[in-house]
Structure 1
Amino acid sequence: MSAPPPSGGTLEPGRLSPADVLRLGAVGLRARRARAVLSALGIAIGIATMVTVVGLSESSRADLMDRLDRLGTNLLTAEAGEDAQGRTVRLPKSAVAMVERIGPVEHSTATANVDARIRRSDVVPEERTAGVTTQAARPDLLAALKAEVDQGVWLNPANERLPVTVLGAVAARRLGITAPGETIMMDDQRFVVVGILSPIDLVPTLDRVAMVGFPAAERHLGFDGHPTTVFERSSDASVEDVRAVLARSVNPGDEGSVKVSRPSDALAAKATTDKGLTTLMLSLSAVALLVGGVGIANTMVISVLERRQEIGLRRALGATRNAIRLQFLTESLLLSALGGAAGAVVGAAATFGLAQAQGWRTVIPLWSVQAGLGAMLLIGVVAGLYPAVRASRLHPTVALNGG
């Protein structure tokens, strides 16, 4: 028989230190490594998806905002609308000059629709226009739009009267033009391509047009000289004031037929259009996390069933129910941590790689990582709670007998 306890004393169960608890939890995982990895895979997929989706969404939005900052938010356009009979209104030839008289306006220019069919060559049937339209443009258009020439040159005072054209990026691709120097047909007149533009973010419609000088359009294509769209830039502080008077300055007496817009608004709105897709992908990552949590719970329940004798022996040697619960709960948390850490690393690496491939600035919000860690801990607790309680309730004698 064991010695009685000291007079007036009581026996208290020993307490496991945090390091002991971690070692106990790790023993079960090391003994079943393949099962632990497979169980953690669902958590890893869910966390990686969440970090990647949020990171790519924020990286794309940051890149768009950077471009918007470079292009500026102070560009306004005034476009000819339609009258009561549905006919396009003709803006005055002096529209640009009238806009420049507005005090805060720093720069004003214009383009105009030209009725001319475009073909790759004279052997192409007239009805096959390749979806490219013609517009007259002023030499100062690129400066106003902060656009760039990808190949060749832009319209200038030396060539704007000649039968030459500059193609938008999409127009060049549709016509099969790969370099300046080639020719295209505008109606029955042959025009030489002198330049190809880079994509124009603020006014993407210009990517699909062939642009000629105003004098050349009047001389060779029967253009009447009336602008269709007026572009203006003013200081950021005065944009709204200019917007209020722009329509009546462009077309006095019929301002209702002029549509005023701010191209940067479309780009800013684009930054929020991916919210639906982001929400969908986050929902899928939540499903992956749920599946991973079920997998961990299943693994822990099976582990309890397989280790009944181990549990019985520990209970017989004096381990308390709390110690048993803590052991299996820690094992579940470690399993979740394994998947969560792997998922966070994979998600960050995927975000960096995909953002670099797109030429974006990599942005991984801290909250997405924190949310992943929070989800990891929650899943570990929930998935391990029932198996831990079940293990602690096993009677030592029954467990040792394998019952």
Structure 2
Amino acid sequence: MTRLLDALTLGWLGVRARPARAVMSALGIALGIATLVLVTSIPASGQADLDRKLTALGTNVLVAQGSDAGETPVELPTSAAAMVRRIGPVDTASGVANLNTTVLRTSFADPNETAGITALAATPDLLGAIHATVESGAFLTPTLQRFPTVVLGHTAATWLGITDLDPARAPDVLIGGHRFTVVGILAKTPLTPELDQAVLVGWDAARSQLGFSGHPTVVYLRAAESQVEPVRSVLPATLSPELPGLISVSRPSDALAAKRATQSTFSALFLGLAAVALVVGGIGVANTMIVSVLERRREIGLRRALGATRGDVRGQFLTEAVLLSLLGGAGGMLIGLLGSIGYAASRDWPLVVPATAIGAGFSGAIVIGALAGLYPAVRASRLSPTEALATT
């Protein structure tokens, strides 16, 4: 313990005795550690922002529907959405039903102009199940869905010539010959484009006004991202235990695959850049310590002449190298954190500083200091007292 304290004291005195050289030496390792923090935190923040955007698209949305051999839609049980919600990893589920009726802007409109618009019965929980947002107006509420109101998909609204809603004078459309008031327009839903071309009628209103039977034809659900594939595999048997082959389920979205690919790519990038940064810092410390040994040969000779062993000399220079690396590492961590905070703020990214970067920064500083100081320390310890004192 005493030898360790002596080595630390001597090492610290060596650092303090040459402040300018210590600062320049620490600066080299500081730049390396700062680079380590920056090259891990900035890409990690960028990845977090990308993940956030991909998640907002609905990477964990699945679509289940029934169809026979002729691709004719098959009605699902009235409790289909509730059955799906009982699957553990499923966050929410909502059913819609094709009403198989026409949608017209007015009674004088040409039916062929709106032939691509689908009328669907929907419930208020559909919005959360498909990660959709309302661009104008409001969505169906438990109260609104009982009245003749409708929400338009983004493309359907354009085809019908309704691109914005005036609260003072709400437009209406004809669905199956019945007049429905437009209360909202959805924003685009990239992962469920079929809903962009649909008009959504309240579930209860569809039953009372349009003779809807209450059986959904499609179920939209949102599950935990890590469990999308297992949920997909059990959906057919859940919705139709007798004839699971009649149920088709969409495959996980390409956005989810892209998200997972970026995660693995970024991980490899982190490791490569961090390794380069640490090597650069280590070379700087090693170079400084070698020069220090050459310039302090007389000091080494005097210590040896006064009884210091080779181990004492090795410990002194090794301790100096580690202390320089730790000082540089602390400064580099601060520089890296400030740089990461500033860059993330300028790009409106969430700040992410991997815990491994902090741990690798400090542990890396110790290891680098030890490795960088090892050769200079051994070289200093091999100098004989007479040889060192004879150096001018």
TM-score > 0.5, shorter chain as reference: yes
Structure 1 residues 139 and 15, CA, compared in 2 at 3 Å: closer, same or farther? Answer: closer
**Structure 1 residues 304-337: Cα deviation after superposition (integer angstroms, max 9, x where no partner):** 1222233233333443322221221111101211
Secondary structure of residue in 1 paired with 2:73: coil
Q: Which residue of 2 aligns with 1:245?
A: 237
Alignment of 1:213 with 2:207, yes or no, is: no
Residue number among 65, 70, 73 corresponding to 1:91 in the alignment = 73
2:99 & 2:294 partners in 1: Cα distance?
79
Equivalent residue letter for 1:376: A
| 1:288 CA drift (Å) | 0.9
1:332 is matched with which residue: 318, 321, 325? 321
- Does residue 286 in structure 1 map to residue 275 in structure 2? yes
Provide the aligned C-alpha RMSD in A. 5.6
Q: State how far apart, in whole Å, the 2-side matches of 1:54 and 1:21 are.
A: 41
Distance 1:198 1:322, change over 3 A: farther
Separation in 2, partners of 1:338, 1:144? 54
Whole-angstrom CA distance in 2 between matches of 1:113 and 1:350: 57
Equivalent residue for 1:110? 96
Aligned to 2:138: 153
Change (3 A) 1:192 1:298: farther
The 5-angstrom pairing of residues 120-199 of structure 1 reads 136-140=119-123, 142-143=125-126, 145-146=128-129, 147=131, 148-155=133-140, 157=145, 165-167=152-154, 180=165, 195-197=184-186
Letter in 2 for 1:258: I
- 1:60-85 deviations in Å (ceiling 9; x for gaps): 79979xx89xx9x9x863135795xx
For residues 180 and 232 of structure 1, the distance between their equivalents in structure 2, rounded to whole angstroms, comes to 29
1:195–1:349 Cα change, 3 Å: farther
User: Could you tell me how far 1:49 is from its partner in structure 2?
Assistant: 3.7
1:334-375 deviations in Å (ceiling 9; x for gaps): 12112322233344455666389757586753x543333222
Task: Provide the residue aligned with 1:48 in structure 2.
Answer: 37
CA displacement 1:68-114 (0-9 Å, x = unmatched) = 9xx9x9x863135795xxx7x2213x336363695976964126699
Say whether the 8 Å CA contact 2:97–2:216 is kept in structure 1. yes
Q: Which amino acid in the other structure matches residue 213 of structure 1? A: L
Whole-angstrom CA distance in 2 between matches of 1:15 and 1:233? 60
CA contact (8 A) 2:153 2:198 kept: yes
SS at match of 1:231: strand
The separation in 1 between residues aligned to 2:267 and 2:237, in whole angstroms, is 40
Return 5+ residue gaps in structure 2 as ranges: 87-91, 103-115, 172-179, 207-214
- Residue deviations 1:117-154 (CA, integer Å, cap 9, x gap): xxxxxxxxxxxxxxxx9654434154463554354122
Q: With structure 2 as the length reference, what TM-score do the two structures score? A: 0.63
| Aligned counterpart in structure 2 of residue 389 of structure 1, from 378, 381, 386 | 378
- Matched letter for residue 329 of structure 1: L
1:77 has 2:63 as partner:
yes
Label 1:150 to 1:369 Cα distance change in 2 as closer, same or farther (>3 A).
Answer: same
Counting matched residue pairs gives 340
Could you tell me how far apart the structure 2 residues matched to 1:397 and 1:103 are? 87
Q: Secondary structure at the match of 1:95?
A: coil
Say if 2:239 and 2:247, in contact at 8 Å, map to a contact too: yes
Could you tell me how far apart the structure 1 residues matched to 2:351 and 2:237 are? Answer: 39
Instruction: Tell me which residue corresponds to 2:112.
Output: none
3-state SS, counterpart of residue 97 of structure 1: coil
Residue equivalent to 1:258: 247
Equivalent residue for 1:400? 389
CA distance in 1, matches of 2:390, 2:99: 92
> Greater helix share, 1 or 2?
2
Asked whether the equivalents of residues 64 and 247 of structure 2 are also in contact (C-alpha less than 8 Å), the reply is yes
The CA deviation at 1:272 is 7.7
Per-residue CA distance 1:233-263 (angstroms, 9 max, x = gap): 99x9xx79973534537xx76x435323697
Identical amino acids, percent of aligned pairs: 36
- C-alpha separation between the residues in 1 aligned to 2:291 and 2:157? 65
- Segments of structure 1 that go 5 or more residues without pairing to the other structure are 1-13, 117-132, 184-190, 218-225
1: CA distance, partners of 2:319 / 2:124: 67
Q: What residue identity is the alignment partner of 1:212? A: V
| CA offsets 1:11-40 (integer angstroms, 9 cap, x no match) | xxx997255224233136514145314422
